[in-house]
Structure 1
Amino acid sequence: MSDSANETPEAGDEQATGESAESNAYWAANLKLLGVLMAIWFVVSFGAGILLRDWLDQFMLGGYPLGFWFAQQGSIYVFIALIFYYSFAMRRLERKYDLED
């Protein structure tokens, strides 16, 4: 019976562990980007569309109260902008870590 399953890979053997410092840095940057974008998504949808709606309704945009506008249309525009920004940022991140297709 072999103990090869219990052997730990050597420090320089990155392929055996499947992780390297560079891939860890890539995933950390990826998760940071996702966290920031999800926070923006939450603030716009829940904050501007629900929590701050009454306060935002004192301002008008296109003839509609701003809180209503965010709840119905503004959040959708922000979500679409976040999708495009995510695509742009991930392309830049993949180039930085040499992971382009």
Structure 2
Amino acid sequence: MSEKQKKATAYWKENIRYLFILLTIWFLVSYGAGILFKETLDGIKIGGFKLGFWFAQQGAIYVFVVLIFIYVRLMNKLDKKYGYDE
């Protein structure tokens, strides 16, 4: 395997690891907080709304948008690390 192929393989392994971690967080927030842990979270209120309801309606969307920005930042660092930046 050439040096270029090793670099590309390492790059994609790290990229997939980032994706897995970020998608796991998104799943836990959207499905976990909005559905599985809704009853527990409903004991806490934000702006007059129960926290479980808030996560199901708003929180998961906010977390998803934040995760997009985190992914962009991580990928920019990864691109620089492996020399794929412009």
TM-score by length of 2: 0.94
Structure 1 residue runs without a partner (length 5+)? 1-10
- Report the equivalent of 1:58: 43
Partner Cα distance (2:47, 2:14) in 1: 38
Partner Cα distance (2:22, 2:13) in 1: 14
Aligned partner letter, 1:50: I
Percentage of identical aligned residues: 48
Aligned pairs for 1:20-99 within 5 A: 20-99=5-84
Highest relative contact order (Cα 8 Å, sep 6+), 1 or 2?
A: 2
Partner Cα distance (1:38, 1:75) in 2: 12
Partner Cα distance (1:41, 1:68) in 2: 16
Larger radius of gyration: 1
Q: Give the length in aligned residue pairs.
A: 86
Q: Which has the higher helix share?
A: 2
- Report the equivalent of 2:85: 100
- Report the equivalent of 1:7: none
SS in 2 for 1:20: helix
Aligned partner letter, 2:31: F
